Amino acid sequence: MLKFNPLTNVALGFLLASAIGCQPTETASDPMPDRPRDQAAIDPDAMETALDAVTVQIKSWEEVQQMVADLRGQVVVIDIWSTWCVPCTVKFPEFVKLHESYSEGLTCISVAANYTGLPDEPPESFRDEVLDFLRRQNATFPNVISSTPDQELYSIVGADAVPIALVYGPDGQLAKMFTNEDPQFGDEGFTYADHVQPLVEQLLAAAAES
């Protein structure tokens, strides 16, 4: 599996963005794309309110799973990502759009896997970087910085690298995991519109019928 080094040419990174998942090597300065928006049309007070609506907590993967359990009856989609992972930041606006497409029945949770376990870089040290990106994406759903080190987290969920999307049914059970390494999604990897959203709609429809 190719490991992406975000200190290499950023343009090359975006060409590879959809091809595979990524593992950390070094921290990128700012590989994160802004979400397009008309700045002139945004009221300053509304912007401040919107920024305040985006928050992030530090939780272990076990605590994230408890969040899923507490949301029983909802379809839950977890996006595991990292600020240094270009494929993750490219997909993230799709994740936000998924959240915005449903007013009820669906909860989206983002989990930033920036923490590698190094004692001089605790999960808290990534808060500003992660929160800055989340605010630029208007990620008003629950956001978490994982206090479970990235490699341990990947091992627990059974994936090799981010981006990872986990879809849980209303029963709280994992319905499907999506990764870019899965050959069924081809060289460009999974997308929320083409692969995750159809499953979400299927689970929501089944819940409505029951």
pLDDT of residue 15: 44
Q: Give me the pLDDT at residue 176, please.
A: 98
Q: What are the DSSP calls for 63-76, one per residue?
A: HHHHHHHHTTTSEE
Question: Residue 52's pLDDT is what?
Answer: 75
Q: Which residues contact 17 (CB under 8 A, 6 or more apart)?
A: 86, 87, 90
pLDDT tier at 175, thresholds 50, 70, 90: very high
Range 134-146 average pLDDT:
98
Q: Would you say residue 178 has pLDDT above 90?
A: yes
d(Cα 28, Cα 155) in Å, to the nearest integer?
A: 24
Q: What percent of the chain has pLDDT over 70?
A: 76
Yes or no: say if 74 and 203 are a contact pair by the CB < 8 Å rule: no
Domain-located, residue 75: yes
- Report yes or no on 10 lying in a domain: no
The per-residue pLDDT for 20 is: 52
Predicted confidence at residue 210, as pLDDT, reads 82
Structural domain count, the chain:
1
The SS3 of residue 8 is coil
Q: Is residue 195 part of a domain?
A: yes
pLDDT at 51: 63
Give me the mean pLDDT over the 148-156 stretch: 98
**Predicted confidence band of residue 76 (pLDDT cuts 50, 70, 90):** very high
Assess if residue 200 is contained within a domain. yes
3-state secondary structure of 206: helix
pLDDT at 115 exceeding the cut of 90? yes
pLDDT for residue 21? 63
Q: Is residue 120 part of a domain?
A: yes
Alpha-carbon distance of 79 to 59, in angstroms, equals 15
* Residue 27 counted as domain residue: no
**Token representation of residue 164:** 């990872």
Identify whether 202 is part of a domain. yes
Domain boundaries, position 95 = 42-209
Nearest residue to 137 (alpha-carbon basis) of 68, 194, 56, 77: 56
Report if residue 24 sits inside a domain.
no
Note the pLDDT tens digit of each residue in 20-29: 566 654 444 4
CATH of the domain at 110: 3.40.30.10
